[in-house]
Every structure is written in structure tokens, then in C-alpha cells.
Amino acid sequence: MRIVVIGAASAIAEHCCRLWVARETCDLVLVARDAAKAGRVAEDLRVRSPASTIAVVEADFLDAAAIGRLAAETAARPIDIVLIAHGVLPEQSLCEDDLLVCRDTLEVNAVSPALFAEAFAGHFARAGRGTIAIIGSVAGDRGRKANYTYGACKGLVARYAEGLEHRFAGTGVSVVLIKPGPTDTPMAAAHRASGRRLASVEQVARAMVRGIDAKRPVVYAPAQWALIMFVVRHLPRFVFNRLNL
Ligand SMILES: NC(=O)c1ccc[n+]([C@@H]2O[C@H](COP(=O)([O-])OP(=O)(O)OC[C@H]3O[C@@H](n4cnc5c(N)ncnc54)[C@H](OP(=O)(O)O)[C@@H]3O)[C@@H](O)[C@H]2O)c1
């Protein structure tokens, strides 16, 4: 199986890679902004699966032309899955106080994943096959004061994935949008410090890999978030706006 992982130093992405190499020999391309960090992930995966081929590529995640070139180079050989995993979660108050932080958050979490998805979509369309797996978030299901800049980005990612899914309906190309709930990774360090309950990264990665295998259009991870977010989405405004979320 040939898999390209965008944002490969992410804890969730790394754990997906561990699951993939544990079950079969893989050809992995790990794309990250910091090759040294992704290199450490690659070293660990090589120990777990000496027969797998693991390459590291450093990239600028905000450079549309570079993203296009990277997709073209990696798609020169058939790709089974591209997993788009990068993201950043600043304090909401920083986005409110500093428009540069707000812009960076919007670019990294929304524009960049959409560009990667679009770049690979063109190659998958020509090949007639491949799975685009992209990590959104439960935060994208409804805007709320605690994280609406990040949440809006994930909302864009969800709508983009939905459009791609429609574009590729009836073809050999699949689109899988993963919506994790709060998960114990470096991104959620502040949640952990405040004592919030977090899913383990292993549990979330297992749900993701299962969902990607099944080519499910939307995967909540862990699954109970589907029900929780159904309720949250349907709360009437006069109730929702009184909640401290
Ligand atoms: N953890 C959660 O609670 C949670 C919940 C819902 C959704 N998610 C989503 O899950 C995905 C994976 O996150 P994670 O939990 O695995 O967090 P993580 O371990 O902190 O990984 C985030 C990754 O994004 C990369 N990144 C951040 N800014 C970047 C930039 N400007 N250019 C390139 N790469 C950048 C980071 O690169 P460096 O390693 O170089 O810093 C890091 O590898 C993200 O899309 C996140 O939004 C996470």
C-alpha cells in the first residue's frame, strides 16, 4: 500500500502509520514542515516494519505552487491513500487579539488542507482511484465561543470534503473526512492540563484506519461523538447561546 501523509509529525498521523505498517509492508511518504521531526517518525516506523519503504519530504504548507509540485512528484507512482493531518489550535483569545495569529490559524487549518486535497484530487481523478482522507474536527460542526476560529477552519474542511465527495461519487476515488473529538496529543496539551477527558491517540487512530478502510465519508473518532454532535448541532439558538462552551 502506498500512502502519502501530510503533516506526518502529528501524533494522530504517526499512530495511523504505526497501524498501517503493523499489518502490511507499506510505501510511505511522510511530508512535514520539519524534516528532522518527520525523520524521527520515519526511524521509528522503519524499526517497526523493516520491509517498508519510508521517505521524508520537507514542504512549505502554505505555498500553493510547492504543494502542486509535491503532489505531482509523489503521484508519479500510484497512491492508495493521502492523509491530510496537519493543524494548529491556538487559544481563541489570541485569534481575537491578534489578526496575524487569526490569519495564520485560518491559513494552516483551512486553506492549506484544502490546497493539498485539491492538488491530490486532480491526480486521483486522472488515475481513477485513491482515497483522500482529511482530518477535520468535531469543532467544525458548530461555531462556539471557545474555539470558533479553529472551528470555522474545520467547517471549511468539512464542506470541501463534502464537495470532493460529490465530485467523485460513482468513481474509484473516495473521500473520508475524520472528525476526532478531544484527543490526547500535543495539540490538546491545554485540555489535558485543565483535566478535560481526552480520547487516547491509539483509539482515535484505530477508528480512523477502520473508517479509511471502509471508505466511510464521515468518521467520528471515537464514534460516540456522532451522537454528541448531533445533539449539539440541533440545540436551538436560544438554548445554545446560554451555554458556556
Ligand atoms: N488532538 C485533538 O484533540 C484533535 C481533535 C480534533 C481534531 N484534531 C486534528 O487532528 C489533526 C492532527 O493533530 P494532532 O492532534 O495529531 O496534533 P499534533 O500532534 O500537535 O500535530 C499537529 C501537526 O500539525 C503540524 N503543523 C502545525 N502547523 C503547521 C504549519 N504551519 N505547517 C505545517 N505543519 C504544521 C505540526 O507540525 P510540527 O510537528 O512541525 O509542529 C504537527 O505535526 C489536526 O488536523 C487537528 O486539528 C485534533
The DSSP annotation for 186-231 comes to GGGHHHHHTT---B-HHHHHHHHHHHHHTT-SEEEESTTHHHHHHH
The residue whose CB lies within 8 Å of the most ligand 1 atoms, and thus the one to mutate among 5, 6, 10, 60, is 10
* Protein residue with its CA nearest to atom 46 in ligand 1: 87
- Model pLDDT, residue 47: 98
User: Per the domain annotation, does 139 fall within a domain?
Assistant: yes
User: Per the domain annotation, does 110 fall within a domain?
Assistant: yes
User: Per the domain annotation, does 177 fall within a domain?
Assistant: yes
* CA 153 and chain centroid, separation: 12
Q: Is the pTM of this model over 0.75?
A: yes
The CATH number assigned to the domain holding 7 equals: 3.40.50.720
* Protein residue with its CA nearest to atom 17 in ligand 1: 187
User: Per the domain annotation, does 60 fall within a domain?
Assistant: yes
Question: With contact defined as beta carbons under 8 Å apart, do 228 and 138 qualify?
Answer: yes
- 144 class by beta-carbon count within 10 Å (0-12 exposed, 13-18 middle, 19+ buried): middle
User: Per the domain annotation, does 245 fall within a domain?
Assistant: no
Question: With contact defined as beta carbons under 8 Å apart, do 92 and 149 qualify?
Answer: yes
Predicted confidence (pLDDT) per residue in 57-97, tens digit: 999 999 999 999 999 999 999 999 999 999 999 999 999 99
User: Per the domain annotation, does 138 fall within a domain?
Assistant: yes
User: Per the domain annotation, does 57 fall within a domain?
Assistant: yes
Nearest by Cα to 205 from 184, 187, 188, 174:
184
- Model pLDDT, residue 228: 98
Report how far residue 24's alpha carbon sits from residue 107's, in angstroms, rounded to the nearest whole number.
35
Nearest by Cα to 243 from 189, 83, 235, 74:
235
* Protein residue with its CA nearest to atom 44 in ligand 1: 87
In the chain, the number of structural domains is: 1
236: DSSP letter: -
Q: 164 alpha carbon to ligand 1 midpoint, in Å? A: 22
Q: What range does the domain containing 228 cover? A: 2-240
Q: Which ranges of the chain have pLDDT less than 70?
A: none
